[in-house]
Structure 1
């Protein structure tokens, strides 16, 4: 019986330890502070990129699911978490350039990546800036083009006047000043990838969208899928913008791992 309890304690300890990063680093790249953490036991680099208003903390529940196959990099993207705040209008292209700088700083020739929303749009831009740097990518809740001005209800929702309903922000951002900075920039959020650019993205890509995702127009998703020469589409039933979370998390991890490992589709 004593050994049973010892094994239970060891299992709990190992589980807790597995959630501790191997490294947690803030590096300065071209004058910008970029924070990242590294987890996992695999040898294939996997970058997990969060959505706007979130931080790398949003991916913590997924670490155990990816840690066997991948070395996992959680990054606080430009303007978020422990990385530098926005100093001008939010720019997805600048955020992608910053991510490229980080990958080069880490001396990684080729990565796999999963990006949710803002993180997905950054991956579209990274694939345009330096296509050879991404082996495969999973884009969740993004089609590469998005303008906050087309969604006035979201501008009203993602405002500091509504902060008491944005509970995750105080959990994931470093302070109130950072929260204000992010929300003040949201109305400036705008990015577009045209058909010619989409056709130039040869990266093996799985586009994931919930069938009830009111932030990602299906026609935009279809445009991306039909123009990208190596793209696949997974429409997740009965779910919204966070189609990788909650009840879908385990299936998302399984399918994304299979895809990133190069299994047939």
Structure 2
């Protein structure tokens, strides 16, 4: 297993494939890079796929608590990994919270990023209703065997600590009004493909939110799938992969 150090913590990463173009996958909140297991083989045929577990997640060293600027913090972690590996023009696929991390990478280090695919996320902010809904969903999910199995596969026996730390972070982030992003989104110049499912059960008003969000970017394309659960990149897997390759391999 491979690790690098970030602010004193061991952070796990993995590289698969021998393509010349780097493609970094960024996982969502309460998940880990294991969520991309079924995707890696397909993309590794064309790209140098890079996987990372954020600090406190998966195989990375546990944190006592998650930073209130979680999505900017993890963008800085991912940037450090790319710099450590001497990668340039890195394409990014982020889903759910990972989409926000990807966009923050483009804000923090615009010359590092090639193209971004941002899948199944909530747009530009969290409101009090979102936080309350998420808290209720998490509590219910902690009693659901399928949710427990997913979290166990992501984190092992410490899954509950990860989920609780993430919920606490989101509550604190909402109260602090820091928001998701560490810059002006209109300054993102790289191409961004935004995807989502109109039947996403976790993100309220996803169509409205992502249309507004897409309109605030300089260079974006928005694609919705009429059916499918959260996240769309898995519930609409075949269609997503075809679209992703077209987007990433197009020279324009």
Number of aligned residues: 238
Q: Say if 2:30 and 2:162, in contact at 8 Å, map to a contact too.
A: no
Residues 1:79 and 2:56 aligned together:
yes
Q: What is the distance in 1 between the residues matched to 2:214 and 2:190?
A: 12
- Length-normalised TM-score, structure 1: 0.82
2:6 counterpart residue number: 29
Residue 69 in structure 1 maps to residue 24 in structure 2: no
Aligned partners of 2:72 and 2:181 also within 8 Å = no
Partner of 2:164: 183
TM-score of the pair, normalised by structure 2:
0.86
The match for 1:168 is 150
Q: State the Cα RMSD in Å.
A: 2.2
Unaligned runs of 5+ in 2: 174-178
Asked if structure 2 preserves the Cα contact closer than 8 Å seen for 1:53 and 1:183, the reply is no
Where do 4+ consecutive residues of structure 1 move more than 4 Å? Answer: none
Unaligned residue ranges in structure 1 (runs of 5+) = 1-23
* Match runs of 1:47-196 below 5 Å: 47-90=24-67, 91-147=70-126, 149-151=128-130, 152-159=132-139, 162-165=142-145, 166=147, 167-176=149-158, 178-189=159-170, 190=173, 191-193=179-181
SS in 2 for 1:59: helix
Post-superposition offset of 1:222? 1.5
Looking at structure 1, the residues matched to 196 and 24 of structure 2 have their Cα atoms a distance apart, in angstroms, of 19
Q: Does 1:225 align with 2:214?
A: yes
**Secondary structure of the structure 1 residue equivalent to 2:78:** helix
1:160 CA displacement: 8.6
Q: Which has the higher contact order (CA 8 A, sep 6+)?
A: 2
Correspondence for 2:224 among 223, 227, 235: 235
- Are residues 163 and 136 of structure 1, via their aligned partners in 2, closer, same or farther at CA, if it must alter by over 3 Å? same
Matches within 5 A, 1:186-225: 186-189=167-170, 190=173, 191-193=179-181, 197-216=184-203, 217-225=206-214
Deviates more, 1:228-237 or 1:249-258: 249-258
